[in-house]
Amino acid sequence: MKSMKLGRGLDALLGEIDEAYDNEGSQKDTVLEISLQEVKANPFQPRKNFDEASLLELSESIKNEGLIQPIVVKESIDGYTLIAGERRLRASKLAKLQTIRAIVLNSDDEKMRQFALIENIQREELNSVELAFAYQELLKLHDYTHEELSSLIHKSRTHITNTLRLLQLSEKTQKALIEKKISAGHAKVLIGLDDKQQQLVVNSIVGQKLSVREVEAIIKGMKTEKTAPKKKSTTQSYDFSTLQEQFLNLGFKAKVNNNKFIIEFESEAQIKNMLNWFS
C-alpha cells in the first residue's frame, strides 16, 4: 500500500511546480509582477548559507538581462510567502529592484515545506549538512525508506545514506564542514569519534593541512590506542622517609631514587661508624 502513495507524494509536488512554470508561456495571468517588499521568506527554507559572491553575480545578471524564471509564492494575509526561488529573491533585492515576477500557487504549509526541500535538492544548492537535514525531513514527512527516496529524487541510495550519516557529527564539526575548513571526505572519516576527538582532529586538519589519508592514519592510531589493553604496574612504591631521616641525623648522605635507597660515604671512617652502628 505504501508504494502506491509514493506517486502522489513528491512526484505530484514536482509536477505541480513544473506545470506552473510550463503554463507561464501560455497563460500570462498565472504570472504577476509583485512588490519585493510584500514577499516574506519561506519559514521552511532548508538552506541557511548563501554564497555572497554567487548572489552578487546573479544580481548583476538580473540587472542586465532581467529575471528569466519567476519565483513561486503563495498569497498570505499581508502579502506573499515565498515557496521557491530564495536566491532569485535575494539577488533581486541586491539589485535594488522594486518588483519581481512571481507565480502564485495555492499551497498549505506542508506543501511549502516540501517545495523548498525539493527545489534546493534538485538545484543542488544545499551544502552537505543542509542536504542531510533536507533528506531527513523528507524521510520523516513521507515515511520513506532510503531506497524509495532514492528513486524519487534520482540520487543513489548510498549517497543518501552516507549524507545522512553526517548528522552524527558534532555541531562544531558540521560548522567546519559548512565553512569548508574540512572536506566531505574528512568529515566521513570523523564519524564515530566523540566530540572531543572530532575537535582535536579538526584542529589538526586545519592547522596542518592534512589529507584524508593522513587523517585516516591518525584515527586508526587513536582507535588502536583506545582498544589496546592497559598494562598494570607491578612495581610497588616504598616509603623511605623515616629511614632517610634517621641516616641524615647520623650524618650520612642518603637519597631515594625509584625505590632505591642510596647512601653516600665521604670517608672510610664513615663506613666503620655505620658498621659499628649495626653491630
Give the pairing type, strands 79-84 and 253-257: unpaired
- What is the structure's pLDDT at 123? 61
Per-residue model confidence (pLDDT) at position 190: 92
β-bridge mates for residue 75, sequence order: 80
Residue found by looking up cell 648522605 in the block: 253
Active-site residue numbers?
Answer: 86
Dihedral over Cα of 90, 95, 97, 103: its sign:
negative
State how far the Cα of 244 lies from the Cα of 257, in Å rounded to an integer: 12
pTM for the structure as a whole: 0.52
> Which among 234, 278, 237, 232 is positioned nearest to 260, based on CA atoms?
237
Tell me, what's the pLDDT at 46? 63
Rounded distance, CA 109 to CA 42, Å? Answer: 10
**What are the beta bridge partners of residue 100?**
34
- Spell out the per-residue pLDDT of the chain, length 279, in tens: 343 333 344 555 555 555 555 554 434 336 788 888 888 877 666 666 666 777 788 888 888 778 778 888 888 788 888 877 888 888 888 888 888 888 887 766 666 667 667 766 766 667 888 888 888 888 887 778 888 888 877 788 898 899 899 999 999 999 999 888 998 889 999 998 999 989 988 998 888 888 889 888 888 877 776 655 655 656 677 777 777 667 766 767 767 777 787 787 777 877 777 777 766
Right CATH number for 16-107 from 1.10.1070.11, 3.50.50.60, 1.10.3720.10, 3.90.1530.30?
Answer: 3.90.1530.30
C-alpha–C-alpha distance, residues 58 and 79, integer Å: 25
Query: Smallest Cα–Cα separation from 110: which of 44, 175, 168?
Result: 44
279: Cβ–Cβ under 8 A, 6 or more apart, which residues?
none
3-state SS, the chain, equals: CHHHHHCCCHHHHHHHHHHHHHHCCCCHHHEEEEEHHHEECCCCCCCCCCCHHHHHHHHHHHHHHCCCCCEEEEEECCEEEEEECHHHHHHHHHCCCCEEEEEECCCCHHHHHHHHHHHHHHHCCCCHHHHHHHHHHHHHHHCCCHHHHHHHHCCCHHHHHHHHHHHHCCHHHHHHHHCCCCCHHHHHHHCCCCHHHHHHHHHHHHHHCCCHHHHHHHHHHHHHHHHCCCCCCCCCCCCCHHHHHHHHHCCCEEEEECCEEEEECCCHHHHHHHHHHHC
pLDDT at 170: 92
Q: Which three cell numbers stand for residue 165?
A: 550519516
